[in-house]
Structure 1
């Protein structure tokens, strides 16, 4: 977490950030084994999602941009999919139990416990970032700091792919996610936040909810300026 202020007191924003990060990590620790079992093979049923991941991987390879991080990697199955698409990829997640499961399932890949708003990476170190439903738990006023961190660790021209729940044109909406409080975003609103952080949109996709899904699914593919 970020350090305390000049008088040893954290600001309200820092306190909020620390609180929701701790709560989110604990919530996913509690459901990690069930989550891994339910979703490990989910990409096999999602051809449109695989197509976007393929486009992301091809764009990173074409740019010759280097390593990729999946931030909020969970049990690591999407990280492994990106590896299979030819990327030099590693995963980061808040939940220590999720990272344990990922390491057990994919011992050839690197997985680390960490937070998306304070990545242990040098400026411009990455060629790509995948944030696959990992910003959904971020309180809206905290999200610009995450985009700033993504921009910091991406090299110029690096790629960012976001997956999220879309609010179908309505304002940002909190909903009862089974693990931790989460937010649905209008795709235009999320794209605007990215633009303000110096990302240029390459493409977007909206997918209708499938059986068992409640909300429309959004994807944004962007390039760091």
Structure 2
């Protein structure tokens, strides 16, 4: 796991500036994607919460979106390079370096966790570890939202990055919604919402979104 984690960290360090310049905000998201994030915000607030974790926050664009909607957001990311972009572009955000499989966050300290395309670099064996970490840091009744590419198998995203001039290696795991929902249920979550949409624009894969909560 450590060598692959180092590979992921190195890849995102290398592309951080390009990524932040290309996607300063929610440019990759379709309106319906953001509707799922808005639903997550609404459910956290309706449950009396406000403190959420953006697990795998990257350059801070989703943490910014959630903050602008009234939540108190802590962003955690593995890549120092991406965190540097987040600190540069969003100096008001609270940010920490760390892994989503070993979150630098206290037990039962947040009301929501967002895994917005951050579980995609985990193997199937590592996915339950990250979900167990979400359970650990969430308060009872807390919510989690996930975004990921729908499908199956391992996909090489390094090729596209190398075309942009970045000499990196990076792969991601595509999963079906049933696999993700089963993993959430095994971790102790209850499904609240599921959304799958077809590719739009330059996308090549369907996109999936899941919202769940702890009892």
Matched, 1:176 2:156: yes
* Equivalent residues in 2 for 1:86-97, closer than 5 Å: 86-97=70-81
* Equivalent residues in 2 for 1:1-225, closer than 5 Å: 17-43=1-27, 46-167=30-151, 172-178=152-158, 180-225=170-215
Task: Rate the CA distance shift 1:120–1:41 in 2: closer, same or farther, 3 A.
Answer: closer
Displacement of 1:153 in angstroms is 0.6
Report the 3-state secondary structure (helix = DSSP H, G, I; strand = E; otherwise coil) of the residue aligned with 1:140: coil
CA distance in 1, matches of 2:5, 2:191: 28
Calculate the aligned-residue CA RMSD, in Å. 1.3
In structure 2, what is the equivalent of residue 9 of structure 1?
none
Displacement of 1:43 in angstroms is 4.0
Displacement of 1:49 in angstroms is 1.2
CA distance in 1, matches of 2:195, 2:81: 31
Structure showing greater Rg:
1
Report the 3-state secondary structure (helix = DSSP H, G, I; strand = E; otherwise coil) of the residue aligned with 1:156: strand
Counterpart contact for 1:43–1:49, Cα < 8 Å? no
Runs (5+) with no aligned partner, structure 2 = 162-169
Displacement of 1:66 in angstroms is 3.7
CA distance in 2, matches of 1:45, 1:156: 30
User: Number of matched residues?
Assistant: 205
Runs (5+) with no aligned partner, structure 1 = 1-16
CA distance in 1, matches of 2:171, 2:50: 34
